[in-house]
Amino acid sequence: MTLDTTTPGADATQRAAPAIHLKDPALYINRELSWLEFNRRVLEEALDARHPLLERVKFLAIFSSNLDEFFMIRVSGLKDQTTSAVVDLPPDGLTPDETIRRIRATVLPMLQEQRRCFSREIMPQLAAAGIHISHYIDLAEEERDRLRVYFQAEILPVLTPLAFDPGRPFPHISSPSLNLGVTVRNGRGEERFARIKVPPSLPRLLPTHDVSRFVWLEDVIAANLGVLFPGYEVVEAYSFRVIRDADIEIQDDEAPDLLATIEQGLRQRRFGPVVWLAVDAEMPERMVKFLMEKLEVNPEDIYALQPPLGMGSLWALATLNRPELRDATFAPAVLPALRDVKTADELFAAIRKQDILLHHPYDSFQPVLDFVNAAAIDPHVLAIKQTLYRVGRNAPVVRALLEAQRNGKQVAVLVELKARFDEESNIGWARALEAEGVHVVYGLVGLKTHSKVTLVVRREEGGLRRYLHLATGNYNAVTAGIYTDLGLLTCDAELAADATELFNTVTGYSTQTYFRSLLVAPGGMRERVEALITREIEHARGGRGGRLIFKMNSLVDDRLIRALYRASQAGVQIDMLVRGICCLRPGLPGVSDNIRVISIVGRFLEHSRIYYFENGGSPEIYMGSADLMPRNLDRRVETLFPIKDARIRAYIRDAIMEVELANNVRARELQPDGSYVRVQPRPDEAAVDSQAWLLDNPSLGGRGAAFRR
């Protein structure tokens, strides 16, 4: 850490306290390494024997899927910087090459630990529970015979062996794909290479005649290769897996048809440069070198691993119908304010009576669907406007919007086509909506629209009234059951006016940055959050205390990190609930002594964003879609909305945030060096699992019980 040892103009004999430069790279954690620490926490959940067995399998699968996306997007971006020689160093000062080296050094031991866990812990316990994953060669002859018949009927017609010889070029290998590299020998003793893609359209784990016994698909293919190469001797076969750069770059101003441009980008995603080559640890060196040459990868891109490769496929096991091996099911709470609501009139009357907080998955997502469905059929509703980011397939909210259009409502929908890895689904919904006459827009040039807003305009006695659903999460009924998110149903006039102007901004022409109640990015959100932190500093310096509690997915923005450092230096007590990336270093003397950062990884994915400001005893809370990252603050349309109901504010602070800060079962605390240490109950302290507590203590619309230690 760079320190000034004197104050300019001071007498040489007098030494001032060291001045700390808050832009010093030593004060920041590398973003990519911080993300890897998050994925380590996911892996640790798989290692945790307190979880039911199939939940541990689920975490192994999530770890792999997360890592795939990390290489597709983040590592590919680092490689692009290296290749182009255009390098914008992050606040921590690491170059792309240095970061890539550290990534490999971090990832390899984690992958080895994942495989150790699977082979030595999970597999024996699965077998003890009657779930077996067998090698083809270890099956009984009767089972192998059945699989040979299945291979001939269901697998062989799908396979396409691709040879490489002087007359046939090396085949393109798409991403992400699992493959078999095969060496065959002809009658003259000449050896040739062939590649077989393991079909993603078939189950990766094939059941034998016993529904509780499985064998890997690639194992079955490898055992029957002679059928694919008649007249040749199969010398060897080894699995390998390829991941390519999947970061689609869209220049909106050069893409007059954004829909067509993104469709083209989806096709190109399969053909980007290779950024990861995983190979069977037993693969001979000559085959590894051959693949390196043909795929144009460097030694640091190769990961030699014990099979199975691509362990994201373990989802198939995690979803087995074995309830005794899974977390106990639960019924989401139905809020008292909505429990007896049966008609659209009654639903809108309930919202007029009071603001209603929804805390998913603890509270049912059905009221959100009911809100949109009611608007679709209510003859008094004139218009519905909504943002859609990730809604998934067979989305009930989209069906409701289509119904509204058929019922003569004016429906305007902003579909974010650039929601990564949801592009194809969103394109389908955009076309379906447009085919029914819905006004569909794709957002502002150069920006993703990430805000979660639904606006309903209704004619009532006395004039028009606007109703809102504002949220931290997507309009996705599936993820609402596994992500923790918050939503607010309200008819607050100021918020409604702001939402109207926000939609006018994203569907028309506007340079508006000021809103009455909403904080909107890009525009005033960054400056307003920084001003609220500065206000807390002033309270602390004025002897009125100072407290911030922030909950988010990621903290990356260096400008706001410096604001938090200044707040800590002023004596503001800061608690941070950061699930994923955190580039701030807590606990640094003279910099962040008053900052505590914890991460909760458990049954549900922590996804809500909450920003609490003590404000000298008059607390303010904002919630919404924005993390404190440059992309959210500068390159996305985001919203944070205030909680105006004092009882809901108290509930959010005294139940949600306090119980999460007290978590000593699924929480880890960030250390100054960037590592995380699991929080343990003290000898005189009860165990607290915040997610379990919230399951047992419904929000009651934001009027539920406070948490007490």
Strand partners, 470: 453, 488
Cα 63 from Cα 591, distance rounded (Å): 33
Tokens of 365: 């997502």
Of 201, 192, 193, which Cα lies nearest the Cα of 157? Answer: 201
Contact 449, 327 (CB under 8 A): no
Nearest residue to 449 (alpha-carbon basis) of 630, 632, 622: 632
Spatial CA neighbour of 63 closest among 104, 101, 31, 107 = 107
CA nearest neighbour of 484 among 248, 618, 663, 257: 663
176 alpha-carbon distance from chain centroid: 19
The token pair at 18 is 């060291």
- At 335, the amino acid letter reads L
Could you give phi then psi for residue 381, rounded to 5 degrees?
-80, 130
- Helix, strand or coil, per DSSP, at residue 95: coil
Q: Which residue has the tokens 């062996």?
A: 161
| E runs forming strands in 92-212 | 132-133, 162-164, 177-185, 191-197, 205-207
Q: Kindly provide the b/e burial profile for residues 390-423, where b requires at least 16 CB atoms within 10 angstroms of the residue's own CB.
A: bbbeebbbbebbbbbbeeebebbbbbbbbbeebb
| Residue among 450, 469, 539, 607 flagged as catalytic | 450
| Angle, CA 576 vertex, CA 572 and CA 581 arms, to 5° | 135
450 among known catalytic residues: yes
Q: Are β-strands 676-678 and 547-552 bridged in parallel, bridged antiparallel, or unpaired?
A: unpaired
How many angstroms from the chain centroid is the CA of residue 233? 46
Neighbouring C-beta atoms of residue 24, cutoff 10 Å = 15
Tell me the C-alpha distance between 256 and 85, whole Å: 30
Q: Which amino acid is at 269?
A: R
CA nearest neighbour of 237 among 182, 278, 282: 182
Contact 610, 656 (CB under 8 A): yes
Residues 335, 171: Cα–Cα separation, whole Å: 57
Residues acting as catalytic residues? 450
